[in-house]
Homo-oligomer: A and B are copies of this chain.
């Protein structure tokens, strides 16, 4: 079960659950998978930036892939970004052997010029092999690599394995329109576009042509419903639903701190046993936790699901 350029819907960016002492919480891997499946998502993305992937040892990464792929009935995309191509290749091929649906690759932060960016992904695509479908991650705010629509087109054209864009630029609406325009004028083959960025602009991203969401919002059922409403053309209903979540969603979308918020809420919702992060990681202050509780209470009063 591999993804392709026609993949649509919601892929949840899954965090990595840890015990309070920083060791892997494998039991929570299972409960988390069940939580996402119950929410109705279409797939999972693991070992991304929000999955604290750089903090894991290679053996742990493989253990997580193995356990989640076995537990889940959904396609699983595995983040394989690494400082070196050798480690990337090893994790990519092992993940596919374990049953992953695709891998995801982010640029290394030092890339600047268009040629450097395109050259890097050509080498990465060659390293993982032509039979592995992969997702291009475009996340300038965190990775400090800026890809124009034309560079994304070049990467997609150069690499038959690249079937999906994880769109996470901000502001990013025009980028979606530009890429869809390229498809329309025949200069870009069809490409699945799922959007991240904590869903802060998912309402309009869908209207611009996104195929769905790939983000880790702690209420994945909101993403599922919003994508469905929007795909069905029910614009006002989609915005009404989105606006209900926005006050909390915006709070979870804080750069860096957001993962602590997200894990705290997922713990409260029973998806994972502990909200701890492996060091170094941000923790919620008592005041921040109280603010989240307040926002959740307000959300519960409005969205009775």
Give A contacts to B, CB under 8 Å: 54-58, 60, 83-87, 90, 109, 112-116, 119-120, 123, 127, 146-148, 150-151, 170-171, 173-174, 177, 200-201, 203-204, 207-208, 239, 242-243, 246-247, 250-251, 254-258, 278-280, 285, 287-288, 291, 298
Apart from A173-B291, A177-B285, A207-B291, list 19 A-B contacts with CB within 8 A.
A54-B84, A55-B84, A57-B84, A57-B86, A60-B86, A112-B146, A113-B114, A113-B148, A113-B151, A115-B148, A115-B150, A119-B280, A127-B279, A171-B255, A171-B258, A200-B250, A204-B251, A204-B291, A243-B246
Contact at B90–A287, with CB atoms within 8 Å? no
A selection of 16 A-B contacts at a CB cut-off of 8 Å is A56-B86, A58-B58, A58-B87, A83-B83, A85-B280, A109-B109, A113-B148, A115-B148, A119-B280, A120-B280, A171-B255, A171-B256, A174-B288, A207-B291, A239-B247, A243-B243
Closest to A122 in B: B280
Closest to A207 in B: B291
Q: Which residues of B contact A285 (CB under 8 A)?
A: 174, 177
Rank and list the top 3 A-B pairs by shortest CB-CB distance, nearest first: A54-B83, A55-B84, A171-B254
Closest to A174 in B: B285
Closest to A58 in B: B58
Q: Which residues of B contact A256 (CB under 8 A)?
A: 171
Closest to A278 in B: B86
- Bound complex: CA A204 to CA B200 (Å): 18
- Bound complex: CA A86 to CA B112 (Å): 28
Q: Which residues of B contact A57 (CB under 8 A)?
A: 58, 84, 86-87, 90
- Bound complex: CA A84 to CA B57 (Å): 8
Q: Which of B109, B177, B204, B246 contacts A246, CB < 8 Å?
A: B246
Q: Which residues of B contact A84 (CB under 8 A)?
A: 54-57, 278
- Bound complex: CA A119 to CA B257 (Å): 17
Contact at B280–A123, with CB atoms within 8 Å? yes
Q: Which residues of B contact A56 (CB under 8 A)?
A: 84, 86-87
- Bound complex: CA A84 to CA B54 (Å): 5
Q: Which residues of B contact A257 (CB under 8 A)?
A: 171
- Bound complex: CA A201 to CA B247 (Å): 9
Known contacts A247-B243, A255-B170; A85/B150 CB under 8 A:
no
Q: Which residues of B contact A109 (CB under 8 A)?
A: 109
Q: Which residues of B contact A83 (CB under 8 A)?
A: 54-55, 83
Q: Which of B85, B114, B177, B203 contacts A55, CB < 8 Å?
A: B85
- Bound complex: CA A170 to CA B278 (Å): 22
